[in-house]
Structure 1
Amino acid sequence: MKWNRYLLLILMVSPVLGFSQDSFKGGSKEKFEESKQKIAAGLDAAGKEKLEIALRVLAMSAIYDRDHQSQLRKQSFDELVRRRLNGKDLAETYALANDYVKADHQRKIDKLEKEMSVLEAKKQKSDALKAKLSVLKAKPLRVDSLNGAFVIFCAFTNESDQVLTTYETVIGYGSTQDLNDGWSGIKGAEDGVVFAPKETKILSSAFSFATVKENSHVIDWQGMKFPSTDFAAYNLAMDCYTSMLVLKGVKYELKNEDRLSPKEEQDLSKYRSSLDQLKTNIPVLDDLIVKKP
C-alpha cells in the first residue's frame, strides 16, 4: 500500500518536472549569457533561431521605450532587456516579444490613420465645396494654336435655377503625369456678363507657346495637331473648374490650399490600401522567422 502511494506521488510530480523550464538570469551580463546558453542548449536549430529573433525584437522594444520614456534614457538597451527577462522562461520571453510585435503593428496603424485623417478632412472640405461649385459645370472642349499662343477652350454650363453674376473659373492644363507640369489662369465674370439658368458659355485661356514648351517634357508638343480634342493622345490633362461663385447670396470659394493635389490623392489611395493590408495581416513573432524552402 505504501509502495502504491509512493508511485502515485512520483506520477503526480513527474509531469510538473517535465514541463519546468530554465529562466533567464538578468543580474549581470555574464549571468544573462550563461542562462541564455543553457536555455538554447535544449532547443533544436529552429528553436534557437526563434529565440534569437525574440531577443532582437525585445532589443527593438527596449530602444523604442528608451526613446519614448525619459526615465529609461540612462539605461543601456542590454540592461533593459536583461531586467525585463530576469526570471522569465522561454514561453514568457516569446509572449513579451509577441506583445511588442503587436504593439508596434498597432502604432503603424495609428500613424497611418492619423495621416489619413488629415487628408480625408481636407478631401471632405474640398468635395463639399466642389459640389456647390459644380452648379457651374466645366467641360474641356479643345486646344488650339492661335496667333502663336496655346489656347484652351472650355464650356461652362449653369446647371442651377439661379442667375449667376459673381463667379471665377480656372482654365488650365498639366501633363497626365503631373498637373503641376502646366499653367492655369483665373477668369472672373466680365461686367454685365451673366449665366442664365441652363446657359452654356465657351470661355478660353491662352498661354505663350515659348512658355508652355519649356515647362513640361512629358507633353508631346512636337506631335500635337491643332485643333485637338484628344488630350490623352499627347499626355495632356485639362484642369478646368469653377473656383468661386455666389449662389443665393452665399459665396463658395475653392482655394488652391483647399484642393487635394494629385500627389495627395495618390497618397490617400495608397494609405487606404496599406491600412487595409495592415488590419488584415496582424503579425506574430513566428511571422518574422524566414521560412526555408
Structure 2
Amino acid sequence: MKPSIPTLGRRLALAALLAAGALPGLALAQGGYPAKPVRVIVSFPPGGAADQIARAIAQPLEAALGQPVVVENRSGANGNIAGDYVAKQPADGYTLLMSSGGTVSINPHLYPRMPFDPVKDLVPVAAAARVLVYLEVNPQKVPVASAREFLAYVKANPGRLTYGSPGNGSSPHLAAEMMKASANVYATHIPYRGAAPAMQDLLGGQIDFMFDPGIGLQHVKAGKLKLLAVGSPKRSPQFPDVPTMEEAGLQGFDADTWFGFYAPGGTPPAVITRLNAEINKVLRTPAFAERMNAIGGVPAPMAPQDFAARAQADSARFGSLIRSRNIQGD
C-alpha cells in the first residue's frame, strides 16, 4: 500500500534525524571509515543530470575520503532499479545512491507495489543540486518565439505535438503534465530511458519539445534548440532574460527537482555525518558551481534532515498532480 503524504513526510523526517544524530558508540565503531572504495549507484543512464552531478562530485570526494569513489549506472523504472539495489546493500556507507528526489518522494505515488520501502530502506545523506527544467523546442518543428506563443500553438494543434522525458513520472514528464493541466492543452508523451536519449531525439526532430533538466543548454547556446521558459518559481541565474512558466501565464508553476545521495537504511549516523560534511564541502567549491552552471543547476548544500523535509514538500506537491492526471510508472 502506498504511504500517505503525511505518513511519508513523518517517516522521512524521522529517518533523517536518526541518521544525523551522531551517537558516540557508533562514531567510535566507524572511526576507520572509509577503509575501501565507495560506490555511487546512479539511477539514470550516462549523460543525464544525475550522472553528471555524481561524476562532478566523485573526484573531489575521493580526494577528501582517501579512497576511490566509483560511479556506476543502473537505470530503469524511474530510479527504482538503482534504489532497490542500494536498499539491499550492507548498511556500511560503501554503497550510495545518487538519484533525483523522485525515488523517495514521487515513486510511492506512481507504483502501487514498490520493490523496496524508500523511507525505511533508504536514508538521506546529502542533497547535491537543485535542477531546474527548461522548456525547449526544436525550432525546425515548432515555429514560435515565446512561451506564450508556444502555449497558443499547442492549444491550436491538440495532440499533434510530441514531447520526450526520461520516463513516466520523471520530473520533466511531471513538468509537462503540470503545463498541460494548467494551460488546458494536450500533447503526446514519449517516455525514454533517460534524459540523454530524449535529448537526441529532440535534436533530431523525432519529438517537438521537452522540459530539459539542463543537459540540452549547450545546444541552446549553439542555436540548435530554442529555450522558451524555465519551470521554476524564479528565473534561472544562468538565463536571467528567460521568463518563468508563471510569467507565461501559468500561475504557481514549480517543477524544480532536487538530486542527492542516499544510503541503505541503518547506515551508522557517524558515516552519514562524515559523508554529508565532505559532500557539502564539494558543493561549495567554485569548480562544482561551474559544472552545475553548465547544466542549469544550482548547488544545494544542506543537512540530511533538511533534505528529508524537501522530499516531504515535493511529495505533497507532485503527489496531487500524479493522482489528478492518473500518471502511472513504467
Q: TM above 0.5, one fold?
A: no
Which structure's relative contact order is higher, taking Cα pairs within 8 Å and 6+ residues apart?
2
| TM-score category (smaller protein) | under 0.3
Question: What is the TM-score when the length of structure 2 is the normalising length?
Answer: 0.20
Larger radius of gyration: 1
Question: What is the TM-score when the length of structure 1 is the normalising length?
Answer: 0.22
Higher helix share: 1
